Amino acid sequence: MKHFGFVKVAAAVPALKVADTAYNAKAIADMTEQAAQKNVQIVCFPELCITGYTCGDLFHQQTLINEAEASVSELLESGYARDIVFIVGAPVNVAGKLFNAAVVCQSGKILGISAKTFLPNHGEFYEKRWFWQASKAFNGMATYCGKTVPFGNDLLYAGNDFTFGIELCEDLWVAVPPSSGMALAGAHIICNLSASNELIGKNNYLKTLICQQSARCMAGYVYASAGWGESTTDVVFAGNGIICENGTMLAQSERFLMKPQLIVSEIDTERLAHDRKRISSFEPEHTGAYRTVNFATTVVEHLDLSRPVNPQPFVPSDRQQYHERCEEIFSIQTGGLAKRLAHTGCRKVVLGISGGLDSTLALLACVHTFDKLEFPRSNIIGVTMPGYGTTGRTYHNALNLMKALGTTIREISIKAACELHFGDIDHNPAVHDVTYENVQARERTQILMDISNMENAPVVGTGDLSELALGWATYNGDHMSMYGINSSIPKTLVRYLVQWFAETQPDETVRATLADILDTPVSPELLPAGNKGDIAQKTEDIIGPYELHDFFLYHTIRFGCTPQKILFLAQHAFGGKYPNHEIRRWMRVFYHRFFSQQFKRSCMPDGPKIGSVNLSPRGDWRMPSDAEAGIWLRELAEECE
């Protein structure tokens, strides 16, 4: 089975007894077995978990050190000769010096022992009282559990298709954490064995720290900290298990739980590798400073994703950031349009208002801009241009919205002009083909451009990112403007923004009009309305659901995912909403249109970049107009084994 670069990892927080190494080894063994049953490939345990972190001066007792080593030996010999890699925190004696270390085990063997680089010596933690700080002088080999194994703070562990590194607790909190060098040397995943106590406000800082370090390293980060069972003589441990990937929290434990916890998720190493290749400031270095320990990667029979897959990746999922994110998007649009107006010396704009979602968002952004600039809203010239397919619903919504917002309204029917043009080009208007449709789109654009000249006002484009990706625009029709204010906002985000605007407006007419616009099917309205005057041409019936196309677009452009991986992710994201054959069907449409319509994007107007996915030929997306989609379509046709 293909696993698309996913590595299943776990942060384990066992319930321990201080200085009872046999009890702790049994707890570790039980959780390792539990992780193995979940097809976990790497499980990380807390710092010094074989003894308990809070042993204090007991670390000076040779009996404890001997029993810790014996308990690790029992772990290796007691039937845990599995492919799963489990990382155990233990005090390790090397050359007469005691180190706070992580023992990396697999298949009954020790792959290596990674030592802690930075030891705290402040507050309630005085590790230098018991342990030696790892340094290059100690990087070499160590005899432990009767075997000579690699030892030091310069080890990376390389599986078949991913590499991980290890740091311990305080290592993360220093100015330049060891994980930074490990990531630059090729580590896709960092495991942190920790014992960090709880203080007021510390947990939020810790989570931010882990997320930020995973983002700086463009890595997965697995953090396992001490929990129930540690001594509470002076401090309390909450049992934090955290898994992050490139700044995103994937999973976390419940704090202060009085029982063991196993936090499981998947790290997408393909995604991480893609970002590292794409971002030129991530320059691999110091590779010679690390030794590599090779191991065989666990073969996962069935990949069952536990990490969330957002079906609408362009739409913020955190409702707490709802208002902040929407205001930020409008501010970017406002800043772009305001600069263009200041540069050209214009104090007016022209845009076509259809009563649909895209022109509504563009109008709202223009209103926001003019309010910021303290220009009168009457300088926004909204033009509604009814044609053969215009329904009463969209027509009245366009008028009602412009009136409620206080913009200038112009109404110009395109029917007579189109009929003259049909005659000029000898086209039968009864034939409702692409010429019939595009004549209308280009007539509307001509009207807007001519009013632009009359009023010294740039035409603000209304087309969105989803339409650009699919080429769902008439070349030199609605495809063209002086400034495409929605050009990097996909359809799912357009709807989200209009919904937010509707919820935050005090004017009842504006709210009601926006609500009806949100409820109206997406349509270019270029074909005659139905017998009941309703919309006959529904875009999503023709090219497919926009939520699917936006999902395909995001994973294609942002992460360079293969068609089969996107199909796999879509099946998880939409949870059976669309059957597999339907997702494949619309993916074929997506790839065909995305490749064949690049010529429209190659000459698209300027517009502000909003998010991480943008198709401007001057910036984020430079693609030849004659590229073939064949290899993508062929892979999509293959069955994933």
Catalytic status, residue 169:
yes
Q: Position 67: which residue type?
A: E
CB 24 within 8 A of CB 14: yes
CA 128, 134, 140: angle at the middle one, nearest 5? 145
Catalytic status, residue 116:
yes
Name the CA dihedral angle for 196, 197, 202, 208, rounded to a multiple of 10 degrees.
Answer: 20
Give the count of beta carbons closer than 10 Å to the beta carbon of residue 573. 22
CB 131 within 8 A of CB 104: no
CB 442 within 8 A of CB 476: yes
| Selection from 287, 45, 319, 271 nearest residue 158 by Cα | 287
Catalytic status, residue 77:
no
* Local structure of 88: helix, strand or coil: strand
Structure tokens at 364: 């709202």
Q: Which residue has the tokens 């393909």?
A: 270
Catalytic residue among 8, 44, 55, 116: 116
Burial of 601 (0-12, 13-18, 19+ CB in 10 A): buried
Structure tokens at 486: 């929605």
Residues constituting the chain: 641
* φ and ψ at residue 296, rounded to 5 degrees: -85, 125
CA distances from 184 to 271, 276, 378, 629 (A): 16, 9, 55, 34
Catalytic residue among 47, 127, 467, 525: 47
CB 464 within 8 A of CB 486: yes
**381: which strand partners?**
350, 408
* φ and ψ at residue 633, rounded to 5 degrees: -70, -35
Q: Position 69: which residue type?
A: E
CB 375 within 8 A of CB 408: no
Cβ burial 83-119 (10 Å sphere, 16+ → b, else e):
ebbbbbbbbbbbeeebbbbbbbbbeeebbbbbbbbbb
Q: What whole-number distance in Å separates Cα of residue 136 and Cα of residue 12?
A: 30
| Selection from 549, 538, 544 nearest residue 490 by Cα | 549
What's the distance, Cα to Cα, between the start and end of the chain in Å?
5
Catalytic residue among 169, 211, 244, 366: 169
Catalytic residues: 47, 116, 169
